[in-house]
Chain A
């Protein structure tokens, strides 16, 4: 049986893995912060580092978000 991958919070990903952003579970205020960093649904992010904050690679740029913001980003691992 094929395993259907469900969206998980970004904080649940393992270090080094990549996921596609499915949705952002937050109010408009937090959403806009992530938008300004280029984190949108459909975007691919690689989790480079988990501590002290989450370090993400998006294309050729790097962004850092803390865990509370990272939890709101739901991704599907690829």
Chain B
């Protein structure tokens, strides 16, 4: 029986394995300028001369002695003898630090190709690499590429094909040696790198290089962060995505053109229950389809585009180091920047990404903060547009939200046992993202969102319909009236809070409608927005919380979120009746 021929891509994090994977295979793996994007194995097909091989993209590994869970994946894979060929990807500039893994791979005896990637960046840094000498020294095939630009990919494909078809005896025998330890390997790696690298030219000091320091500066960095948040999050996602785009798609397209069409089509329906299901206020057409496609989708799409830009430019690690000290007061560290920022887009995706955090203490705190007070982009967009005309209300809302988040984080840090993990991170160079890469990644995320979240939107409509028809909804609404009255809020908000549990942004969208009808006063608006921001995460996020944290901690998070939300609403209402802030 012929064994399936598998090619493995291995190498340190952030050297471009996934970029190369996407170019030589028919599949797509998410890439970014952030170490550790790939946490699982992606599999694709590589075609050469009508023959098909399997390619596997592996999480970044620094060494064959595994340190982290991600690295274990790679090492275990290599130990299973499935590999017909191992392709190690290294970054040209940092060749000296990466050859030690090459030696280890040579010792395993698998056929090996070395890809020296990012040759263009090395050239910019004034470096010349003699790949021919490197090939002779190691006695394995060496290919230079600038994969993000597509340079050298065809050559690489040819070499891979040649090596796969080579008979064992024809293959070059690698200059494998055994080393006594990692230090010795490092020393040899440095020696070889020195022999093949030279820097006859002075490095160009590029704009990106200068900008890089600006973004990391303790003072200017914060200023730059302010610009990113203002133009990226507020102007692009908030004003453009949640404002202009939603107004056009929801207002001009859906409500004015699509809905009348649906209504006309539905005139023939005589069954009252079906009419209810489709056309009632919480029905499929008014709630499920409209909110998901016309309101939430444009907002989430603009957020994902913004987030992809942050990722691919290499800005996120800089943000991580800037915010490290602040996050430490909440029992987190700079590494949590990814889940927390992602939470401003989609809380469900963010909870999933807490997996990359080091300790279970950090994971718990991050999940709690995400569930409590990090509003997702759909919700944030809507709340911003509701409060937009009233800067004071917006300020009170923002201040209270930040205060509560900080207080909860601070308390968690004081109460929960455990230690602070240290912050350490590689800072990749700032890079100008490629448009196709950005679009591809945004598309992949939207696809995930539609697959995971869209069915829930429809489900919510159906649940609300069942609740309405059976009278359960009325009873739940009655139960909510006393706490609402305690917060000084009208009873019309009760169904909105229930909606808020199914989708946080639904709640916000319902609020949006009430405001348009002019049913809320200034203080009521603030209290309602704040309580909704703090209120339960959507059902999708809640399911993910239970999946990541287990039922006990999940329930704990649920209960504390409910109490904090209503408690905060009550307090703010009291404060606003005493202090004439609005």
Contact = CB atoms under 8 A, between A and B. Distances in A.
A51 B426 CA distance: 16
A6 interface: no
B425 A64 contact: yes
A40 B186 contact: yes
Given A55-B216, A66-B333, A33 B186 contact: no
Interface SS, A side: mixed
Contacts of A42: 183, 186-187
B97 A64 contact: no
B422 A33 contact: yes
A62 B213 CA distance: 11
B324 A53 contact: yes
A32 B62 CA distance: 10
Contacts of B423: 53, 64-66, 69
Interface string A32-45: 11111110111000
Interface in A58-74: 58-66, 68-69
A13 B541 CA distance: 46
B317 interface: yes
Contact of B94 (A49, A51, A59, A64): A59
B425 A68 contact: no
Contact of A65 (B213, B216, B218, B424): B424
A43 to B, nearest CB: 8
B427 A53 contact: no
Given A51-B218, A52-B218, A37 B324 contact: no
Nearest to A54: B321
A30 interface: yes
A62 B175 CA distance: 31
A42 B183 CA distance: 9
A52 B427 contact: no
B426 A61 contact: yes
A14 to B, nearest CB: 16
**Size band of the interface chain B makes with A:** 20 to 34
A30 B93 CA distance: 26
B422 A64 contact: no
Contacts of A58: 97
A35 B61 CA distance: 12
A53 B221 CA distance: 13
Contact of A52 (B94, B213, B321): B321
A69 B322 contact: no
Contact of A68 (B186, B422, B426): B422
B118 to A, nearest CB: 10
B182 interface: yes
B67 interface: yes
A32 to B, nearest CB: 5
Nearest to A66: B423
A48 B471 CA distance: 66
Contact of B422 (A30, A38, A49, A61): A30
B321 A55 contact: yes
Given A55-B427, A66-B333, A69-B422, A61 B321 contact: no
B93 A61 contact: yes
B67 A53 contact: no
B334 interface: yes
B62 to A, nearest CB: 5
Contact of A66 (B186, B424, B429): B424
A33 B71 CA distance: 13
Contacts of B404: none
B62 A34 contact: no
Contacts of B325: 52-53
B96 interface: yes
Contacts of A38: 94, 97
Nearest to B317: A64
Interface string A20-37: 000000000010111111
Interface in B376-419: none
A67 B187 CA distance: 28
Given A53-B334, A55-B216, A60-B93, A66 B324 contact: yes
B210 to A, nearest CB: 13
A38 B183 CA distance: 11
B125 interface: yes
Interface in B292-333: 317, 320-322, 324-325, 328, 333
Contacts of A30: 422
B425 A59 contact: no
Contacts of A60: 93-94, 125, 127
Contacts of B328: 66
B424 A69 contact: yes
Nearest to A55: B216
Most interface-central of B67, B93, B317, B424 (chain A CB within 10 A): B424
Nearest to A40: B186
A34 B216 contact: no
Interface string B267-293: 000000000000000000000000000
Interface string B367-379: 0000000000000
B427 A62 contact: yes
A35 B427 contact: no
A63 to B, nearest CB: 5
A60 to B, nearest CB: 4
A58 B426 CA distance: 10
B322 to A, nearest CB: 6
Interface string B184-198: 001100000000000
15 contacts: A32-B67, A33-B422, A35-B62, A40-B183, A40-B186, A52-B325, A53-B324, A58-B97, A60-B125, A62-B426, A62-B429, A63-B425, A65-B422, A65-B423, A66-B424
Given A49-B218, A52-B324, 5 more contacts: A36-B62, A40-B186, A53-B325, A63-B426, A66-B422
The 3 A-B residue pairs with the shortest CB-CB distance, nearest first, are A60-B93, A62-B427, A66-B423
